[in-house]
């Protein structure tokens, strides 16, 4: 089931970033682009903690040793992603943009709404676990999409975006590309139902769009340096054309790919590029030196 | 075909609903999602800081006080301590004894322990003004609770966590302090404290039977092992601050009981808790094996833990551990697994 060509041993890297010199508008002169990407820092700490929480419960159900190993590596990487993005939040607060009202809601969303419900053991509990495993597979389709995008987003370099933030995004993006098959393979291994895949994709996609536009508007409206900050879909579309944000067309084209019955994440992105970035990412290098 | 009237009523209702929603969102932009009362994301974890040793003074015989300077330092509560990462890599805890409101410097005091584990010797001999040092924290496992009255017993350098507590108590609070030490010269801050009439200073072992502890009083004790044991024997409710392990050399072998699965095993000195547990329970969760991802966190039921991770918060350290790196401080550890 796994794609043997692309197989790499997944391992968490202990990275750390120093945010002292990162400005609020880390894409110079383009607060909307910076804030749209900043929404990641709002969603990921709670979201990836939730991934880990769910996967801890699935681990005993895995009957394939290699997949098990992958999932263990996946859990460690996701836990680090969650922590790394979490550390940006106090910095945003220092810069005068307190994200807590929004993150408290995201915490509620993942810890309560999508948390462990009081369900009788057996079918109900398994159903809820499988729904969440399928949802994670759908979300991971988009994290791999975004990871692949940010690895290739040369426009951000040309515009002089903050190198620390770019390193965080690309380290994270590269690991997402590196482990992009795990969530899907796990879902296919423990359940694999096509109807469930479509249903959870629809919910995950709608929720992501809802939370993302909400987060971008939240940042734009509360940014202390903007007089009349607004976010609109047009802004997003225009920046997608310029290459500062993911292109709308690319995003739409990725939908039928996930829904295709022959989908496998290894068709998206390129492991070699991800591994090559990790081999020269300042944060990943420092992590390797620390571990040695 | 629906009647025109129905269409008009539905359209009108939709418009009204839209207007109401828009107004609602304008008033509170984050409507309608609920929020977690105690948010988890964005709480700064105790990160490592590099501080400058800006002042060094001998405040009593064998006691050196360090002032460590930085900027925008995390705030702390009285009773909190700081992890100092010494030049050799040793990590030692020292109580903060300065002003909690000061966010530009931390103050710690340490006594030279001749036959100690080497930490205090390093502080005394190698840390000089102008050097940089890495610290972690601050963390508090000796917090000041609300009580009708307070009794503090401090022995020698054990005065350091108590000092900020005394300053933090309101003027109306009912408290007393028994401060003892080998000799007056070896007791830091004794001159400052002696001026207060609620303080009793004793050179030598104090008479604990003479110590009056009113009903409902919170008792705090920090000092040498003998003193703490004696106080604990008389007042079992006492809160203790202990910086040296009670027994068992850290890093050595210890016994591990897995209560839920009813197994007892030995963790050898050259193996981790995780490895020993995995030999018995292959489905045990773990991932990074270096103490940063948090996957292997387990609940501790009994025993003292030598925490070697950098992830868990104080609250979490109270009743859990990361079994991939942390070990036992006591001879026996009981885990809920």
Q: Does A207 touch chain B (CB under 8 A)?
A: no
- Which of B105, B138, B171 lies at the terminal end of a domain, its last residue? B138
Do B179 and B133 reside in the same domain of the chain?
no
Distance CA A167, CA A284 (A): 9
Is B29 close to A102, i.e. CB distance below 8 A? no
Do B156 and B237 reside in the same domain of the chain?
yes
Q: What is the DSSP letter of B25?
A: H
Is residue B30 predicted with pLDDT exceeding 50? yes
Is B35 close to A79, i.e. CB distance below 8 A? no
Do B330 and B307 reside in the same domain of the chain?
yes
B265 DSSP β-pair partners = B256
Is A105 close to B35, i.e. CB distance below 8 A? yes
In CATH, what number is assigned to the domain containing residue B162? 3.40.50.80
Is A52 close to B295, i.e. CB distance below 8 A? yes
Do B131 and B160 reside in the same domain of the chain?
no
Contact B287, A73 (CB under 8 A): yes
Say if B144 falls within a structural domain: no
Query: How close A200 gets to chain B, by Cα (Å)?
Result: 20
Rg (chain B; Cα; Å)? 27
Residue B246: what pLDDT?
Answer: 45
B interface residues, A as partner, C-beta within 8 Å: 29-30, 33-37, 39-45, 47, 72, 283, 285-288, 290, 292-295, 311
Q: What is the DSSP letter of B15?
A: H
Is residue B247 predicted with pLDDT exceeding 60? no
Do B227 and B266 reside in the same domain of the chain?
no
> Measuring CA to CA, how many Å separate A223 from each of A62, A92, A191, A250?
46, 10, 44, 29
Contacts of B308 in chain A (CB under 8 A): none
Domain count, chain B: 3
In CATH, what number is assigned to the domain containing residue B307? 3.10.20.30
Residue B31: what pLDDT?
Answer: 79
Say if B24 falls within a structural domain: no
Residue with tokens 């890093």: B251
Mean pLDDT of A108-134: 94
Higher-pLDDT residue of A174, B23? A174
User: Residue A14, Cβ neighbours under 10 Å: how many?
Assistant: 21
> Measuring CA to CA, how many Å separate A248 from each of A252, B26, B211?
6, 28, 75
Report the mean per-residue pLDDT for chain B: 85
Say if A7 falls within a structural domain: no
Its domain, for residue A223, covers 31-291
Distance CA A225, CA A96 (A): 9
Among chain A residues, the shortest Cα distance to B49 is held by A18
Contact B215, B276 (CB under 8 A): no
Its domain, for residue B85, covers 49-138
pTM above 0.80, yes or no: no
Q: What is the DSSP letter of B155?
A: E
- Residue to mutate among B37, B47, B285, B287, with most A CBs inside 10 A, is B287
Contact B279, B296 (CB under 8 A): no
Rg (chain A; Cα; Å)? 19
Task: Write the pLDDT tens digit of every residue in A177-188.
Answer: 999 999 999 999
Residue A248: what pLDDT?
Answer: 95
Is B33 close to A108, i.e. CB distance below 8 A? yes
Distance CA B67, CA B49 (A): 14
**Which of 260-279 (A) contact B at CB < 8 A?**
none
Say if A3 falls within a structural domain: no
Is residue B92 predicted with pLDDT exceeding 50? yes
Mean pLDDT of B21-40: 82
Query: How close B85 gets to chain A, by Cα (Å)?
Result: 15
Q: pLDDT tier at A6 (50, 70, 90 boundaries)?
A: low
Distance CA B85, CA B17 (A): 61
Is B290 close to A14, i.e. CB distance below 8 A? yes
In CATH, what number is assigned to the domain containing residue B81? 2.40.30.10
Contacts of B36 in chain A (CB under 8 A): 104-105, 107-108, 111-112
Residue B216: what pLDDT?
Answer: 84
φ/ψ region of A252 (left if φ > 0, alpha if ψ in -120 to 50, else beta) reads: alpha
Q: Which of A218, A168, A225 is nearest to A29 (CA)?
A: A225
Do B274 and B212 reside in the same domain of the chain?
no
User: Residue A182, Cβ neighbours under 10 Å: how many?
Assistant: 26
Residue B248: what pLDDT?
Answer: 41
Contacts of A73 in chain B (CB under 8 A): 287
Is residue B116 predicted with pLDDT exceeding 80? no
Do B70 and B109 reside in the same domain of the chain?
yes
Say if A20 falls within a structural domain: no
Residue with tokens 């809601």: A105
Strands B263-267 and B254-258, bridge-based pairing: antiparallel
Q: Does A56 touch chain B (CB under 8 A)?
A: yes
Residue A1: what pLDDT?
Answer: 42
Say if B44 falls within a structural domain: no
Say if A80 falls within a structural domain: yes
Task: Write the pLDDT tens digit of every residue in B278-337.
Answer: 999 888 888 888 887 888 899 999 988 888 877 787 778 888 999 998 988 888 999 998
Say if A14 falls within a structural domain: no
Is residue B243 predicted with pLDDT exceeding 70? no
Higher-pLDDT residue of B305, A47? A47
Q: Does A59 touch chain B (CB under 8 A)?
A: yes
Domain count, chain A: 1
Question: Please, what sign has the CA dihedral across residues A71, A73, A77, A83?
Answer: positive
Q: What are phi and psi of A246, to 5 degrees?
A: -60, 145
> Measuring CA to CA, how many Å separate A168 from each of A15, A32, A52, A81, A173?
9, 19, 20, 9, 8
Contacts of A21 in chain B (CB under 8 A): none
Query: How close A217 gets to chain B, by Cα (Å)?
Result: 9
Do B200 and B263 reside in the same domain of the chain?
no
> Structure tokens of A250?
């690319």
3-state secondary structure chain A: CCCCCCCCCCCCCCCCCCCCCCCCCCCCCCHHHHHHHHHHHHHHHHHHHHHHHHHHHHHHHCCCHHHHHHHHHHHHHHHHHHHHHHCHHHHHHHCCCCCHHHHHHHHHHHHHHCCCCCCCCCHHHHHHHHHHHHHHHHHHHHHHHHHHHHHCCHHHHHCCCCHHHHHHHHHHHHHHHHCHHHHHHHHHHHCCCHHHHHHHHHHHHHHHHHHHHHHHHHHHHHCCCCCCCCCCHHHHHHHHHHCCCCCHHHHHHHHHHHHCCCCCHHHCCCHHHHHHHHHHCHHHHHHHHHHC
Say if A120 falls within a structural domain: yes
The interface predicted TM-score (ipTM) is 0.78
For every residue of B309-327, DSSP letters joined together read -S---HHHHHHEEETTT-E
- Which of B138, B166, B185 lies at the terminal end of a domain, its last residue? B138
Residue A249: what pLDDT?
Answer: 95
Q: Does A90 touch chain B (CB under 8 A)?
A: yes
Residue A229: what pLDDT?
Answer: 86
- Residue to mutate among B28, B41, B261, with most A CBs inside 10 A, is B41
Contact B256, B264 (CB under 8 A): yes
Query: How close B258 gets to chain A, by Cα (Å)?
Result: 19
Task: Write the pLDDT tens digit of every residue in A152-163.
Answer: 999 999 999 999
Q: Which residues have a Cβ under 8 Å from the Cβ of A240 and sit 6 or more positions away?
A: A246, A247, A248, A249, A250
> Structure tokens of B61?
């015989």
Contacts of B292 in chain A (CB under 8 A): 12, 14, 79-80, 83
Contacts of A289 in chain B (CB under 8 A): none
Do B178 and B228 reside in the same domain of the chain?
yes
> Structure tokens of B308?
């070697």
Is B287 close to A76, i.e. CB distance below 8 A? yes
Query: How close B40 gets to chain A, by Cα (Å)?
Result: 7
Q: pLDDT tier at A255 (50, 70, 90 boundaries)?
A: very high
Nearest to B42 among A59, A75, A90 (CB): A90
Residue B32: what pLDDT?
Answer: 80
For every residue of B79-138, DSSP letters joined together read T-EEEEE-TTS-EEEEEB-S-TT-SSEEEEEEE--TTS-SHHHHHHHH--TT-EEEEEEE
> Structure tokens of A40?
């990641």
Start-to-end CA distance of chain B, whole Å, equals: 66
Distance CA A112, CA A133 (A): 16
Among chain B residues, the shortest Cα distance to A88 is held by B42
Mean pLDDT of B14-19: 93
Do B163 and B222 reside in the same domain of the chain?
yes
Residue B235: what pLDDT?
Answer: 85
């Amino acid at each position: 089931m796994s794609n043997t060509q692309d197989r790499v041993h997944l391992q968490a890297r202990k990275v750390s970033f120093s945010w002292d010199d990162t400005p609020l508008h880390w894409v110079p002169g383009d607060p909307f682009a910076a804030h749209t990407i900043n929404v990641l820092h709002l969603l990921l700490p709670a979201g990836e903690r939730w991934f880990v929480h769910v996967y801890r419960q699935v681990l005993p159900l895995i009957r394939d040793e290699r997949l098990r190993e992958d999932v263990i590596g996946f859990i460690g990487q996701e836990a680090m992603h969650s922590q790394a993005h979490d550390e940006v939040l106090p910095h945003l607060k220092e810069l005068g943009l307190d994200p807590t009202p929004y993150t408290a809601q995201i915490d509620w969303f993942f810890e309560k709404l999508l948390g462990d419900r009081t369900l009788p053991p057996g079918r109900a509990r398994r159903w809820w676990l499988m729904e969440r495993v399928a949802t994670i597979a759908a979300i991971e389709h988009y994290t791999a999409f975004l990871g692949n995008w940010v690895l290739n987003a040369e426009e951000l370099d040309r515009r002089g975006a903050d190198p620390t933030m770019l390193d965080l995004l690309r380290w994270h993006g590269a690991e997402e590309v590196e482990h992009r098959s795990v969530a899907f393979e796990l879902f296919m291994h423990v359940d694999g139902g096509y109807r469930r895949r479509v249903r959870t994709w629809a919910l995950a996609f709608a929720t992501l769009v809802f939370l993302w536009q909400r987060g971008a508007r939240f940042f734009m409206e509360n940014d202390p340096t903007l007089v009349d900050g607004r976010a609109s879909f047009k802004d997003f579309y225009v920046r997608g054309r310029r290459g500062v944000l993911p292109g709308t067309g690319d995003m739409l084209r990725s939908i039928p790919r996930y829904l295709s019955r022959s989908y496998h994440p290894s068709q998206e992105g390129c492991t070699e590029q991800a591994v090559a970035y990790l081999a020269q990412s300042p944060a990943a290098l420092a992590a390797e030196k620390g571990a040695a | 075909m629906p009647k025109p009237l129905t269409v008009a009523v539905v359209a009108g209702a939709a418009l009204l609903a839209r207007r109401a929603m828009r107004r609602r969102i304008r008033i509170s932009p984050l409507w309608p999602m609920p929020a977690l009362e105690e948010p988890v994301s964005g709480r700064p974890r105790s990160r490592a800081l590099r501080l400058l040793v800006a002042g060094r003074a001998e405040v009593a015989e064998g006691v050196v006080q360090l002032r460590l300077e930085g900027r925008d330092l995390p705030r702390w509560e009285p009773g909190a301590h700081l992890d100092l990462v010494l030049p050799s890599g040793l990590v030692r805890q020292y109580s903060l004894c300065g002003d909690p409101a000061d966010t530009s410097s931390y103050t710690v005091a340490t006594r030279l322990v001749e036959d100690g584990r080497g930490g205090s010797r390093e502080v005394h001999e190698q840390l000089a003004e102008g050097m940089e040092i890495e610290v972690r924290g601050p963390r508090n496992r000796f917090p000041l609770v609300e009580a009708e009255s307070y009794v503090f017993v401090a022995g020698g350098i054990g005065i350091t966590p108590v000092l900020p507590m005394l300053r933090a108590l309101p003027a109306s609070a009912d408290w007393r302090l028994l401060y003892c030490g080998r000799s007056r010269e070896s007791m830091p801050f004794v001159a400052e404290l002696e001026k207060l009439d609620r303080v009793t200073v004793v050179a030598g072992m104090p008479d604990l039977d003479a110590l009056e502890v009113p009903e409902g009083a919170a008792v705090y004790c920090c000092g040498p092992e003998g003193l703490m044991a004696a106080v604990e024997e008389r007042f079992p409710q006492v809160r203790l601050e202990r910086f040296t392990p009670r027994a068992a050399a850290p890093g050595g072998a210890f016994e591990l009981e897995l209560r839920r699965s009813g197994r007892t095993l030995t963790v050898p000195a050259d193996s981790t808790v995780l490895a020993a547990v995995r030999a018995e329970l292959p489905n045990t969760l773990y991932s990074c094996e270096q103490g940063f991802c948090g996957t292997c966190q387990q609940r501790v039921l009994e025993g003292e833990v030598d925490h070697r991770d950098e992830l868990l918060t104080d609250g979490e350290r109270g009743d859990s551990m990361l079994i991939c790196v942390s070990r036992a401080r006591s001879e026996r550890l009981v885990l809920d697994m």
